[in-house]
Amino acid sequence: PAVCRPVARGTTGRVMRPPVPPRHTDPGWWKTGVVYQVYPRSFADTTGDGVGDLEGITRHLDHLAGEPGSLGVDAIWLSPINPSPGHDLGYDISDYASVDPLFGSEADFDRLVAEAHRRGLKVILDLVVNHTSDAHSWFTASRSSPDGPYGNRYLWRDPAGVDAFGRPIPPNNWVSFFGGPGWEWDPIRGQFYQHTFLAQQPDLNWRDPGTPTAVTEMMRGWMARGVDGFRMDVFNALLKDPGLRSNPVRPGRSPWARQVHLHDKDQPDLPALLASIRAVVDEAPGRMTVGELFDGDVVRAADLTTERHLVFDFELLQTRWSAAAMGRAVERRESAFGPDRWPTVAISNHDQPRHVSRWSGGRDRDALARAAAVLLLTLRGTPFLYYGEELGVPGIIVPNRHAIDPPARGAGPDFPWWNRDQARAPMPWTGEPGAGFTAGRPWLPLPPDAATRNVASQRADPGSVLSFYRALLRLRRATPALHAGAFARVPSSTPGVLAFRRWTPDGRALVVLNLGRRQVTATIDPR
């Protein structure tokens, strides 16, 4: 079995420590805290419709913070809660200013924020502003009135010509990340519009001054309701080449991979646009953003990182579970970010197979879950913990023909796609039939082992993955070296072992992990 030693004894003390109260007033929470990602559809359903809701999140806040038995995280990030036709399950928003009735009322949201704050938890919303839903009133107005106030709000273009069958040809070679062309012909306006994702997700034109004005006004509205930050969806794609030039082509496994994305994202004026959005967030102290780097590497992630404005890179998430590969990935991150910029640590999210399933490869799942917890919570950077990982929940199996995830339904030999449903199963709270998640029929199958692997059973078991997370989070909170310290790898000649040091002027920690399949005895020289 894989053996994991959370932190060497003697350097940081034992895992059990008295609880330390959450630091809601700490202006550095974005750096020292831990963010818990809630996928609202899957957290807790209080209405019996099989879909999670805001009231369900509020009722389970004690699981996260504020009680002696809580996990002990510092913030929650909610995947989108705005009204959406649901083609991309909330990532296609039709009204930025309100709450989707599927999740509850405006009052439910305000109560959730108040109850979170009462427990010292910050609240981060998902800001999905690369695109809207095609059901958004801006789009309806844009397609019907090219000369009206919303005429330029999206990326409209005339066709490049017509093909042999008289069909309009798209303006350039851009493709959709979700498969197929990046342009959709709109018979109402008689033009194409651009979409990086589904055709039901038209991209906003961020060069139209109306776009930043409307988006920042909307952000101010949510901040006035107490929101502490935003996770910015595909934030490096907001601006496109003003001339909409075709991308250079190259060999690759899918249409997206066969282009160099020179012109449909990462434009030279992006940092200036981000600075203006970030300035709005900084109008009051204690707020932050985290940008989701779309299809880019860790160097790019570091480039776009500034004080209080973090960036997700997917270096660790895309690395194999091997000490050598993980060690190299960690070093690439460290050298890209350098000592002055603060990375994030994310090893699972709503888009990727759960790490317990992705990495276990026949290993003991609980041991893997614990070792991954150590990696997540002791590397340098702000950890983002995806709901259910604290129980070691495995992925569910949903065949593509039953997939809810839209790109999975279009998957084929030239468009390989992992079905994202597998990471979005309902949270198992109890061993009851609906797992304490719902009294109805859950929108996705429950995790296969929900009857035994759930919050209630793991709370009662000091040897559970949940108890391990709780102890490790407490240790992290009590140890400045772990939540704020510098980082250096410690060499080990023992195969499978990854070791590193963290330190501040006042304290040191040594982390030793066995990523191998066998129990080993490692000699570590921490120096």
Residues at the contact surface with ligand ISL, assessed by CB under 6 A: 88, 91, 128, 177, 197, 233-234, 292, 294-295, 314, 350-352
- CA dist 418 and 138 (Å) reads 32
Helix (H) or strand (E) holding 29: helix 29-32
The Cα-based distances of 153 to 131, 147, 211, 269 in angstroms read: 10, 11, 7, 18
CB of 317 or CB of 393, closer to ligand ISL: 317
Rounded to a whole number of angstroms, the minimum distance from the CB of residue 126 to ligand ISL is 8
Structure tokens at 450: 């929900």
The sign one gets for the Cα dihedral 65, 383, 353, 364 is negative
- From 233, 264, 334, 405, the catalytic residue: 233
The minimum distance between CB 523 and ligand ISL, in angstroms, equals: 38
Q: Which tokens hold the place of 45?
A: 């359903």
Closer to ligand ISL at the Cβ: 294 or 437?
Answer: 294
Closest listed residue to residue 377, CA positions, set 288, 293, 305, 471: 471
Q: Residue 32 is which amino acid?
A: T
186 is annotated as an active-site residue? no
Q: What's the CA gap between 98 and 81, in Å, rounded?
A: 8
Of 32 and 254, the one with the shorter C-beta distance to ligand ISL is 254
Least distance between ligand ISL and beta carbon 430 (Å) = 28
Closer to ligand ISL by Cβ: residue 386 or 487: 386
DSSP code for 93: -
Q: Cβ(132)–Cβ(92) under 8 Å?
A: yes
Minimum distance from residue 91 beta carbon to ligand ISL (Å) = 3
* CB closer to ligand ISL out of 55 and 421: 421
Tell me the closest approach of the beta carbon of residue 194 to ligand ISL, in angstroms.
14
Catalytic annotation, pick one of 158, 269, 283, 307: 283
Q: How far apart are the first and last CA of the chain?
A: 29
Minimum separation from the CB atom of position 89 to ligand ISL (A) = 7
Choose between 86 and 120: whose C-beta lies nearer to ligand ISL: 86
CA distances from 157 to 183, 205, 405 (A): 9, 12, 29
Please, which residue, 351 or 449, has the CB nearer to ligand ISL? 351
Edge-to-edge strands of the sheet including 309-312? 309-312, 288-292, 229-232, 122-127, 75-78, 35-38, 382-386, 344-346
Residue among 409, 357, 316 nearest 88 (CA): 409
Cα gap 455→104, rounded to integer Å: 24
Min CB(20)–ligand ISL separation in Å: 32
Closest by alpha carbon to 411, among 424, 422, 425?
A: 422
Residue 263 half-sphere exposure toward CB, CA atoms < 13 A: 16
Residue with smaller CB distance to ligand ISL, 39 or 503: 39
Closest CA to 134 of 190, 79, 87: 87
CB of 314 to ligand ISL, least distance (A): 6
283 annotated active-site: yes
Catalytic residues: 233, 283
